[in-house]
Structure 1
């Protein structure tokens, strides 16, 4: 698989992204906090056989540029995604969003329906179910365990995985490394201040009007955002499917990459 890496200038910011595969249909994979596009490392090979796959690092995460809190909100991130698609010359895309990326996927489906061929929310933020208490604790840490540090990121990953043996040093380093420098803790804290539930709550009156086909995938044992929220989305969004992934936690694409990829491919096969 040929995996390309590049930076896209978007206004005063630079967005890092990974590009793989080819095909008439394009997939946009969006991660959440505190991860980056490496979240999709084991999923992309399954998808790139028949689709063009774009996996960016959201602004403030991974190798993308940093910015003030007001530039890191989910609506702003959605705007950067439209800018990235414009630069790549991609008119419509299938959006797959995990965690915060799931909220961005909903924003794109509601506000930019002409650009969204379909969307998938995997263990994502929605309604008023976020920000998570753990993420809020980053803002004003009252104890060492809440300080924005590599140890904090590692704990978030471990709690989010069903298969604990998959929390290898290599996996942890993939998500810790972007913040393992002098200003890293401040950068993660800045990102946390950008997250407020009204950013998805204000979408709720519009979700029933979304026309793009949707699938909601949830890990059976998601300890952060239980499967109830996938059920709620399924009850709210027309033309949608809800699937629970057995023996998976918040990070389904790490707990069982083949199963997660299979669900994405089945979603695409249903609508294409």
Structure 2
């Protein structure tokens, strides 16, 4: 299944996105920090056999336009995503979010309910479990290893994988290259400065009232956001589902893309049945 790469004007930002498939149902895949839509390249072909799949680079990441930290908060990212959907003529989606994207998925489900058919959080931020200490350290680096840099990104990726051998040069380059220029460290710093746990804590009352199909997937060995948080989400969102992904860490869609793809398809198939 061929993945196409496109850039569209979404409001005041040019946003890059990957897409595949022509199904009636649309799946929106959202990444987190410090990755981009390449995170989903091994998942997209599986899903695109039955669905239309859209995976954008969030504003401030990948090949999308950069901005200041006030435009990179999770509520603002949710706004940018809705603007992107409008630009693409897409009325509603099943949203799947990883890391920060998981927080954006929750905000979309609560604040843009009419645009969301269902939502999934995969190893995602929630409640007050973020920003991660590593990401906060970018703001006030106390040692060279915490300074916003390509080394910081590589270290974060390596420590977030269960199967270390899967971090190939191609994969690593896909995540390093967007920040590999003179202003890259400042762009990474801006992304960090945008993050505040109140952005997800404030929507917890809305999560408790949701009537949307929801599934939460967390890697068994996620050292950044342990499965505990998936269970907390299940206890908060009515009639939701929580599954632990065996032999996966924070980047479960890299550790086992076939399993993650199957879990997403199971989630949607149950809704459509």
The question of a shared fold, defined as TM-score above 0.5 by the shorter chain, is answered with: yes
User: Match of 1:194?
Assistant: 194
Deviation readout 1:213-263 (Å, 9 max, x if unpaired): 000000000000000000000000012100000000000000001111011
User: Match of 2:204?
Assistant: 204
Report the 3-state secondary structure (helix = DSSP H, G, I; strand = E; otherwise coil) of the residue aligned with 1:221. coil
Which moved further from structure 2: 10-19 or 24-33? 10-19
Q: TM-score, normalised by structure 2?
A: 0.98
Deviation readout 1:59-112 (Å, 9 max, x if unpaired): 000000000110100001000111111111111100000000000000000001
Q: How do residues 32-181 of structure 1 correspond to structure 2 at under 5 angstroms?
A: 32-181=32-181
Which stretches of structure 1, 4 residues or longer, exceed 2 Å deviation after superposition?
none
- Residue 184 in structure 1 maps to residue 184 in structure 2: yes
Paired with 1:128 and 1:82, the residues of 2 have a C-alpha distance of 25
Paired with 1:180 and 1:34, the residues of 2 have a C-alpha distance of 12
Deviation readout 1:10-65 (Å, 9 max, x if unpaired): 23211111111011100000000000000000000000001000000000000000
Q: TM-score, normalised by structure 1?
A: 0.99
Report the 3-state secondary structure (helix = DSSP H, G, I; strand = E; otherwise coil) of the residue aligned with 1:70. helix
Which moved further from structure 2: 51-60 or 8-17? 8-17
Give ranges in structure 2 of 5+ residues lacking alignment: none
Q: Offset at 1:2? A: 2.9
Mapped contact 2:11–2:83 kept (Cα < 8 A): no
